[in-house]
């Protein structure tokens, strides 16, 4: 059965979206937040009205089998899922549409498309699910012709090594299709970014995606056993090894390279057994910093909960997890091998010692119930909301970072205050900035901020940019990273440039010149030629 | 109180070494192994007889304060602690002595020495404790003049962040001095490579050292929060972050770079609380593969024992841990936060289900008692043995690797057989090859082989090289890594060149040309210019 097409405007596939009840719940929240009874609604053009320029290049006969200049296809690859993408589509701005979309069916096809793009001076943008929220796959509007390489047909699990719990997997596979292929083997990658349904293994690796596990295996990085990468200079494959100390890790050069060095076509990935033992629950704290202090201690116990997210009171309220008067910690352990009661019991001792009050429910299904369940559901459903918020000029976006514990409180206040001030200055109305932790390390948390502003049609892109600038400036000045797991893309470049050491950028440029001598790979991302 | 000088020939400091009882125990083992009643003993020249060529360069006046051309100093930095180093010193071969040894007292000194070395066309070799067993700090004998940069004076913990459990530490600090400075803060790095007493933080990072933890935090890599590196092109510092997804990790380019890109001068390191809860013990198995199968299952439980090493019967016998009829697993858990009984109980269930029989003793002090204690002691003391073995023409060396589980059994047999055959072919006598696991991952073990051969004076270097070649060929052909934690250095280069992807080497060369345009940094290691 063929799946519905991916939406050009919106999250997921055509026909999907929030229910009327979900939309009413969310819009009710914004009416209360902004004290507004109704919002002016801008029309979003239907696909038939999309206005794209004619392709500037056309593929050679040998590649016509896998290349498309279809309007839907080009429109789909013109944008991804960041706030500015929604606005530009609403404004029928498709200047960033690629000229050609290639759908390789083999690694040989990938190499052939790279060769062709290089020969005609086109930029080449590797594309997985297109769920980037930072312009990672958005073609530059005013550059050379662009070929977007959609890897979705490379979607197979090719080999399973049950003894080592590893699999060789093509990079274009989407999350659900990957898990479906692993399930008969009782294995799972267990990497569930929020975009899980609409993002790919290769995308996760290229962007250092953050996943299911709140501790220990936070990023995809540690699940990568080896890689195959097609670069304009040739194909390379790292050796399958459980660990190695032989020089700097080749894999680590490509993990996070965001398509600027080559196209990840396959990876051997470390897998998990499917968990059968669970314990979890939600814990209330009087405020966010109390929850953070408890989580700091918990993060340093060596218990490694699979889940230990905290939500500030407004964040908990917005997702329906609490009434706005308390901060919430969502805590969980899981195992395929053993009951995790001893782990959960000690974790609850720690959080109680630090002022946490567990909710009544706690047990194996607690992650699907109560505050934890509310938050889990909101986490999965929330990306659909932007479809109806953007036409109502509601600017809702998120940004995320990481910071060491000793600087967290001041950092949080600095970033929150700067973002709130920018919202007020820019829109003339107070907005809201909330915070949660998505991942936690012994040396610091990964805070994730959401902001909500009442924007104005005709100025949304400028308003968003001013808020984004203020927030990002505060993140970098406060010592954080411009991204913990959303990647750099094009939108985070100015702050990434301030964050990364200059000499590292020079070394990375030199490496790129070797692998991509014509500079065709995803230009504008991470470094300039 | 001034410490004794480091030995030029031998392990540790002058005055240290094995007791007569330890030596008798070990020599008894070799007499039985080779069926030899006594060994011809070659004389090792005392330091006063060392024969070094005159230095080819001399430092400028501005650096004379920190530079030495003293014979002891140059002799100390001519070799490290590999088998061939012992033989060459025994043969009074010091052609590899550096011309000048610099002892920088500050990062400024480091930069000044790099500038000077570059200006006179000298190679520069960063030197920590000099415990390399693969020629990582051995100057090329027939190249340009050499300046060795001994970082031992950069030995301070500069800053402690108790909340984040991290410290800013100078790279030249030796293991014990580092732990002494952390102890008042109730913190520990808890990274104890076998060379712990005679190696440095910077050396651990530059070589991806393997430490105390048998699972999870196996390499130093994950303890590195940020780095400062002085390169010939300038100094760079990565941002202190608990986690980040902003591009390829800058730290990972320098971790494992073995001195070819620059000199690591400082690092922010992630620390641990000092453990107060322990459980451990030793488990017997009928053979090594049974123990390996049990350990495979254990490695995939998510219990993360701090110790879970296995020794094959001969390895257990040689270290006094068992009688030669059984394989031994040394198993341990530790925590600063909670009793680890639930962890140990489940681990014992797993190993029992797979044929393991726990020794009588098991408990908090079990790691210092019984088979576990015997092995632990042998582990720490063994490096001293080579001092008296080499003059008796006994070739004893080790090599280590990692391999995925599904290939382990065939790999083990291939490597062991190839090495045994080489020993027989080369020496005319059967030798012994034993195996243990030093670290274990869910997808595979890190096997560590020891070999023992009855060599012949006058041919030791050639005999060793032939055995090494056979073993390394088998490791690479069998799919392993040429090193899991001993590094590449100069001795592993031919096999590293076969292991790492060519395009990665080209990219790394390009990065090096940017950071080290004159190619002065540790030439011959990892890549050629």
How far does A396 lie from chain B, in Å, by closest CA? 22
CB-CB under 8 Å, A166 with B485: no
| CATH T-level assignment (fold) for domain B277-383 | Alpha-Beta Plaits (3.30.70)
Residue with tokens 């929604």: A86
CB contact under 8 A, B514 and A515: no
pLDDT of residue B367: 64
Among left, alpha and beta (phi > 0; psi -120 to 50; other), residue B358 is beta
Q: How far apart are the first and last CA of chain B?
A: 44
DSSP annotation of B491 reads T
When the pLDDT of each residue in chain B is averaged and rounded to a whole number, the result is 96
Residues of A in contact with B476 (CB under 8 A): none
pLDDT band, residue B443 (cuts 50/70/90): very high
d(CA B226, CA B315): 38
DSSP per residue over B296-328, as a string?
A: HHHHTTT---SEEEEE-HHHHHHTTSS-SSSEE
> In the prediction, which pLDDT does B97 show?
98
- Residue among A165, A233, A501 minimizing CB distance to B442: A165
Closest approach of chain B CAs to the CA of A393, in angstroms?
Answer: 30
CATH architecture of the domain covering B50-274+492-529: 2-Layer Sandwich (3.30)
pLDDT tens by residue, A13-69:
999 999 999 999 999 999 999 999 999 999 999 999 999 999 999 999 999 999 999
Q: What pLDDT is attached to residue B1?
A: 57
Helix boundaries (H) for A1-80: 20-34, 61-64, 71-76
> What pLDDT does residue A304 have?
97
Name the residue among B161, B246, B514 with its Cβ closest to that of A488: B246
A236 closest CB neighbour out of B441, B445, B503: B503
Q: Which residues pair with A230 in a beta bridge?
A: A235, A263
Pick from B165, B236, B479: CB nearest A300: B165
Q: What angle do CA A104, A106, A111 make, to 5 degrees?
A: 75
- Asked if the Cβ–Cβ distance from A510 to B506 is below 8 Å, we say no
Of residues A456, A432, A434, the one with CA closest to residue A33: A432
Closest chain A C-alpha to B26 CA, distance in angstroms: 30
pLDDT above 60 (res B102): yes
Residue A250 and residue B501: Cβ atoms within 8 Å? yes
Which chain B residues touch A239 with a CB distance below 8 Å? 479, 481, 499-500
Query: Do B246 and A300 make contact, defined as CB atoms within 8 angstroms?
Result: no
Q: Pairing mode, if any, of strands A187-188 and A272-273?
A: antiparallel
Mean pLDDT for back-to-back runs of 10 residues, chain A (529 residues)? 88 94 93 94 95 97 97 97 98 98 98 98 98 97 95 98 98 98 97 96 98 95 98 98 98 98 98 97 97 98 97 92 94 97 97 94 66 78 94 98 98 98 97 97 98 97 98 98 98 98 98 98 94
For A137-203, list the strands marked E by DSSP.
Answer: 146-150, 157-161, 166-170, 187-188
| Helix axes of B405-427 and B460-477: crossing angle, nearest 10 degrees | 160
Give pLDDT tens digits for A170-206: 999 999 999 999 999 999 999 999 999 999 999 999 9
Residue of B245, B486, B506 with shortest CB distance to A210: B245
Query: Are residues A502 and B236, on separate chains, in Cβ contact within 8 Å?
Result: yes
How far from A495 is each of A489, A501, B233, B482, CA to CA, in Å?
11, 12, 23, 39
How many Å lie between the alpha carbon of A431 and the closest alpha carbon of chain B? 28
How far apart are alpha carbons A220 and A237 in whole angstroms? 18
Neighbours of B141 (CB within 10 A): 14
**Beta-carbon contacts of residue B291 (< 8 Å; ≥ 6 apart):** B283, B285, B310, B327, B328, B329, B356
Test B255 with A239 for CB contact under 8 angstroms.
no
Distance (Å, whole) CA A223 – CA A217: 8
In A350-443, beta strands by DSSP E: 357-363, 394-400, 432-441
Q: Do A257 and B248 lie within an 8 Å CB cutoff?
A: yes
Length of chain B: 529
Closest partner CB to B485 (pick from A245, A254, A342): A245
Question: What's the token pair of residue B240?
Answer: 């202190």
**A:B CB pairs within 8 Å:** 300
Nearest CA in chain B to A306: B302
What is residue B361's predicted lDDT score, i.e. its pLDDT? 61
Place of tokens 């985070």: A492
Could you give the C-alpha distances from A480 to A190, A399, A449, in angstroms and in order? Answer: 27, 12, 13
The strand pairing partners of A453, in sequence order, are A395
Asked if A253 lies within 8 A of B507 by C-beta distance, the reply is yes
Q: Encode pLDDT of B367-383 as tens digits.
A: 667 777 777 788 888 89
pLDDT at A197: 96
Nearest CB to B481: which of A231, A244, A405? A244
Q: Of A241, A244, A337, which has the smallest distance from its Cβ to B302's Cβ?
A: A337
B346-B350-B354 Cα angle (round to 5): 165
C-alpha to C-alpha distance for B83 and B279, rounded to whole angstroms: 36
Which of A519, A379, A353, A509 is CA-nearest to residue A448?
A: A379
The full 3-state SS of B178-190, as one line of letters, equals HHHHHHHHCEECC
- For residues B473-505, b (16+ Cβ closer than 10 Å) or e, as one string? bbbbebbbbbbbbbbbbbbbbebbbebbbebbb
CA–CA min distance A267, chain B (Å): 14
pTM of the model: 0.97
What architecture is the A393-491 domain classified under in CATH? 2-Layer Sandwich (3.30)
The single residue listed with the structure tokens 């203020």 is A470
Query: Which residues lie closer than 8 Å to B172 by C-beta, 6 or more apart?
Result: B128, B150, B151, B152, B153, B154, B155, B200, B201, B202
CA distance B185 to chain A (A): 15
Q: For residues A373 and A365, give the distance between their C-alpha atoms in angstroms, rounded to a whole number.
A: 9
Tell which of A211, A248, A337, A446 to mutate to test the B interface (max B CBs under 10 Å): A248
Task: Give residue limits of the domains in chain A.
Answer: 51-85+98-274+492-529, 277-383, 393-491
Report whether pLDDT(B366) > 80. no
φ, ψ (nearest 5 deg) of residue B320: 80, 10
Q: Which helix (H) or strand (E) holds B195?
A: none
Distance CA A120, CA B258 (A): 41
Q: How far apart are CA A193 and CA A448, in angstroms?
A: 14
Work out the minimum CA distance from B246 to partner chain A, whole angstroms.
6
| Side-chain half-sphere exposure of A15, counting CA atoms within 13 A | 3
Tell me the three state secondary structure of residue B225: strand
Rounded to an integer, what distance in angstroms lies between the CA atom of residue B464 and that of residue B474? 15
pLDDT, residue A376, reads 77
CA contacts within 13 A on the Cβ side of B526: 30
Tell me: domain A51-85+98-274+492-529, CATH 3.30.465.10, correct?
yes
Query: Cβ of A446 and B502 within 8 Å?
Result: no
Tell me the β-bridge partners of A264. A229
In this structure, are residues B160 and B180 in contact, taking their beta carbons and an 8 Å threshold? no
């Amino acid at each position: 059965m063929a799946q519905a097409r991916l939406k050009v405007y919106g999250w997921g596939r055509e026909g999907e979206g929030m229910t009327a009840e979900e939309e009413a719940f969310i819009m009710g929240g914004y009416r209360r937040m902004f004290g507004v009874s109704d919002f002016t609604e801008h029309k979003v053009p239907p696909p038939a009205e999309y206005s794209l320029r004619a392709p500037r290049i056309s593929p050679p006969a040998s590649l016509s089998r896998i290349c498309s200049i279809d309007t839907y296809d080009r429109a789909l690859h013109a944008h991804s899922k960041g706030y500015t993408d929604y606005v530009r589509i609403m404004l029928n701005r498709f200047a960033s549409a690629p000229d050609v979309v290639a759908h390789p069916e083999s690694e040989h096809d990938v190499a052939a498309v790279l060769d062709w793009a290089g020969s005609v001076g086109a930029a080449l943008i590797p594309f997985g699910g297109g769920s980037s929220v930072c312009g990672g796959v958005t073609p530059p509007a005013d550059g050379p012709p662009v070929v977007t390489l959609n890897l979705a047909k490379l979607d197979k699990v090719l080999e399973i090594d049950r003894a080592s719990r590893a699999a060789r997997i093509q990079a274009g596979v989407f999350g659900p299709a990957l898990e479906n292929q692993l399930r008969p083997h009782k294995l799972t990658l267990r990497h569930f970014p929020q975009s899980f349904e609409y993002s790919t293994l290769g995308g996760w690796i290229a962007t250092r995606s953050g996943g299911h596990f709140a501790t220990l295996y936070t990023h995809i990085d540690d699940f990568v056993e080896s890689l195959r990468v097609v670069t304009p200079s040739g194909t390379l494959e790292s050796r399958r090894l459980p660990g190695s100390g032989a020089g700097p890790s080749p894999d680590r050069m490509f993990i996070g390279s965001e398509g600027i060095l080559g196209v990840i076509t396959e990876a051997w990935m470390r897998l998990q057994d499917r968990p059968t033992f669970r314990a979890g629950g939600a814990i209330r704290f009087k405020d966010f910093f109390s929850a953070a202090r408890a989580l700091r201690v918990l993060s340093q116990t060596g218990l490694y909960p699979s889940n230990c997210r905290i939500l500030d009171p407004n964040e908990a309220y917005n997702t329906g997890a609490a009434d706005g008067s308390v901060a919430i910690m969502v805590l969980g352990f899981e195992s395929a091998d053993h009951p995790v009661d001893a782990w959960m019991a000690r974790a609850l001792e720690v959080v109680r010692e630090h002022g946490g009050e567990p909710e009544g429910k706690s047990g194996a299904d607690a992650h699907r119930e109560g505050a934890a369940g509310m938050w889990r559901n909101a986490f999965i459903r929330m990306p659909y909301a932007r479809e109806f918020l953007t036409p109502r000029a509601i600017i809702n976006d998120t940004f995320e970072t990481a910071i060491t514990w000793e600087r967290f409180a001041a950092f949080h206040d600095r970033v929150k205050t700067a973002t709130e001030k920018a919202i007020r200055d820019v829109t003339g109305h107070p907005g809201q900035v909330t915070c949660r932790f998505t991942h936690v390390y012994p040396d610091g948390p990964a805070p994730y901020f959401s902001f909500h502003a009442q924007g104005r049609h005709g100025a949304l892109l400028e308003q968003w940019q001013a808020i984004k600038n203020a927030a990002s400036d505060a993140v970098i000045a406060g010592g954080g990273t411009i991204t913990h797991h959303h990647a750099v893309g094009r939108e985070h470049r100015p702050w990434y440039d301030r964050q990364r050491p200059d000499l590292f950028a020079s070394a990375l440029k030199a490496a790129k010149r070797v692998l991509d001598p014509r500079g065709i790979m995803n230009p504008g991302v991470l470094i300039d030629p």
